[in-house]
Amino acid sequence: MKIANREQSAVELVREALAKAHEYQDEYHVFNWINDDAIRKAEEIDQRIAQGEEVGKLAGVPYALKDNFLSPEGESTASALILEGFNSPVTATAVKKLEAEGAIMIGRTNLDAFAHGSSTENSYYGPTKNSKDVERVAGGSSGGSAVAVALGIVPFALGTDTGGSIRQPASFNGVYGLKPTYGAISRYGVVAMASSTDCIGFFTHEAEDLDLLMGVVAGQDKNDQTTLPDFYRESTAKTVKKVGIIKDFDNEAVNSEIREALKRKIGTLKAQGYEIIELEMPALKYALAAYYIIVPAEVSSNLSRHDGVRYGYRSADASSLGELYENTRNEGFMPENKRRIMIGNFVLSSGFYDAYYLKAAKARTLIINEYAKAFEKCDVILTPVAPNPAFKLGEKINDPVAMYLEDVMSVPLNLAGVPGLTVPAGKTKSGLDLGLQLVGPRRSDRTLVEFAKVLEEVK
Ligand code: GLN
């Protein structure tokens, strides 16, 4: 379905989306909250259309919102107990812009608490299930948003991507997932994970819809000083001629069906006259280690605001202010949140700052430079998104390092601030979805979206 193609009334569209949301909820646990009131907004839009009023580009289009976006509709929980009961007075800029064009939020989707994770199993409310196999993970952290689109509940969903949280669940569920250039979309009103790598983006069924959504949501925002001037609407897509592939990613640790899917695509592109450039990017091997130092450092700082005084949950068991902080945080955070707070405090502590944080920051610079060099040789890079297709529920949850390793191919982009787009790339023999990731230089988002449309035709 093309989201701009309004052939049904808003009420019909929203009613259908809500019916599907309820139908799938028990089996897949896509949503933390379903917004049954959405129907009222749809009625309003239909009335405005009937009166001949100008309605927006997305009038009546239902969408799903990752539960780490703030808005007064429903509780904004980030799937963590510590934010349970939190009704935000703030509306995220991305949400405001979508709603100004008439889009209607039909539910808040499940995630790993505070977006820490790669499977949505770290949610306080339990995991979301994969759209093709309910014994497998949805991917994460935006698992609910990916599955909402994959099951056809909504034509698009909002997510956040700090280290792969849009691209990896998109690939695990056979949908498109765009992490734009850092700063393309305002982060205002989104629960902060790691402010230097957090990006807002979308899941869709079609590449073309990403273009429409970027046109609506991207742009500078005075409430987020890291937003870039409006480059998306003003940029033109570059014609891609040279496609880079990363040699170091073609190794035994990567699932063979993923490597075959990449080879197939590359083979077809070559046959169609594209030049394939083999890249050596040795600094990328530092990306995962650097990410798991820099991100926890920022997490520990961003999560310090949750103290049981200002937002959501407060421990009932406290006889002093110190105990109130301690017990609220102990009870309200998930184990993975606490792990990151501890790692973050450790790598920032005076004795270890030079050995860990500073080194990681230097590795980050090497990675940024390496992408810059790579894009002198090619227009885009095509790589796997993750080393494996959707894994089994429970398979990695007790082994944080195994879980972190799943992020090895997605985190380098966030460290460098470059955009990445997951494109569906067929299925495994057992029917699981496969995806590949298009990577471009900063501000090449439009090129990626246009080239994704080309890849749609390249089987
Ligand atoms: N899986 C990565 C992590 O756990 C990425 C999470 C994200 O992008 N929010 O840090």
Rounded to an integer, the average pLDDT of 160-180 is 98
The preferred substitution site among 69, 109, 116, 179 for testing ligand 1, maximizing ligand atoms within 8 Å of CB, is 116
Instruction: With respect to residue 445, please indicate whether it lies within any of the assigned structural domains.
Output: no
Using the predicted structure, report yes or no on whether residue 457 has a pLDDT greater than 90. Answer: no
- Residue % of the chain over a pLDDT of 70: 98
- Asked whether 106 and 34 are in contact (CB, 8 A), the reply is yes
Mean residue pLDDT of the chain comes to: 96
Number of domains in the chain: 1
How far is the CA of 457 from the CAs of 239, 265, 268, in angstroms? Answer: 16, 11, 10
Least confident of 282-291, 382-391, 450-459: 450-459
Using the predicted structure, report yes or no on whether residue 269 has a pLDDT greater than 90. Answer: yes
Tokens of 91: 């509306």
Alpha helical stretches, state H, 29-92: 38-50
Rounded to an integer, the average pLDDT of 4-28 is 91
Based on the residue annotation, tell me whether 118 is a catalytic residue of this protein. no
Ligand 1 touching residue 164 (CB < 6 A):
yes
Rounded to an integer, the average pLDDT of 304-329 is 95
Tell me how far the alpha carbon of residue 16 lies from the centroid of ligand 1, in angstroms.
32
Based on the residue annotation, tell me whether 129 is a catalytic residue of this protein. no
Q: SS3 for 109?
A: strand
Residue of 278, 76, 107, 106 lying closest to 190 (CA atoms): 76
Rounded Cα distance, 76 and 94, in Å:
15
Instruction: With respect to residue 254, please indicate whether it lies within any of the assigned structural domains.
Output: no
Using the predicted structure, report yes or no on whether residue 355 has a pLDDT greater than 90. Answer: yes
Marked catalytic residue, from 165, 171, 300, 444: 165
Strands (E), 147-195: 156-161, 176-179
Marked catalytic residue, from 20, 66, 97, 179: 66
Which residue is associated with the tokens 């992408």? 371
Tell me how far the alpha carbon of residue 140 lies from the centroid of ligand 1, in angstroms.
7
pLDDT tens, position by position, 176-188? 999 999 999 999 9
Tell me how far the alpha carbon of residue 116 lies from the centroid of ligand 1, in angstroms.
5
Any idea what the CATH number is for the domain that residue 131 is in?
Answer: 3.90.1300.10
Using the predicted structure, report yes or no on whether residue 6 has a pLDDT greater than 90. Answer: no
Q: How many residues does the chain have?
A: 459
Using the predicted structure, report yes or no on whether residue 439 has a pLDDT greater than 70. Answer: yes
Least confident of 52-61, 392-401, 444-453: 52-61
- Burial pattern 68-96, b for ≥16 Cβ within 10 A else e, equals bbbbebbbbbbbbbbbbebebebbbbbbb
Strands laid side by side in the 31-34 sheet:
31-34, 104-109, 62-66, 156-161, 199-204, 176-179, 420-427, 433-439, 380-384, 242-246, 275-279
> What's the domain range around 141?
10-234
Marked catalytic residue, from 141, 171, 186, 300: 141
Residue of 392, 455, 422, 331 lying closest to 142 (CA atoms): 422
Instruction: With respect to residue 370, please indicate whether it lies within any of the assigned structural domains.
Output: no
Instruction: With respect to residue 282, please indicate whether it lies within any of the assigned structural domains.
Output: no
Ligand 1 touching residue 115 (CB < 6 A):
yes
Instruction: With respect to residue 168, please indicate whether it lies within any of the assigned structural domains.
Output: yes
Backbone angles phi and psi of 408, in degrees to 5: -60, -30
Strands (E), 156-230: 156-161, 176-179, 199-204
Backbone angles phi and psi of 158, in degrees to 5: -95, 145
Question: Quick one: pLDDT at residue 459?
Answer: 62
Using the predicted structure, report yes or no on whether residue 285 has a pLDDT greater than 80. Answer: yes
The pTM of this model reads: 0.97
Rounded Cα distance, 102 and 401, in Å:
43
Instruction: With respect to residue 323, please indicate whether it lies within any of the assigned structural domains.
Output: no
pLDDT tens, position by position, 194-226? 999 999 999 999 999 999 999 999 999 999 999
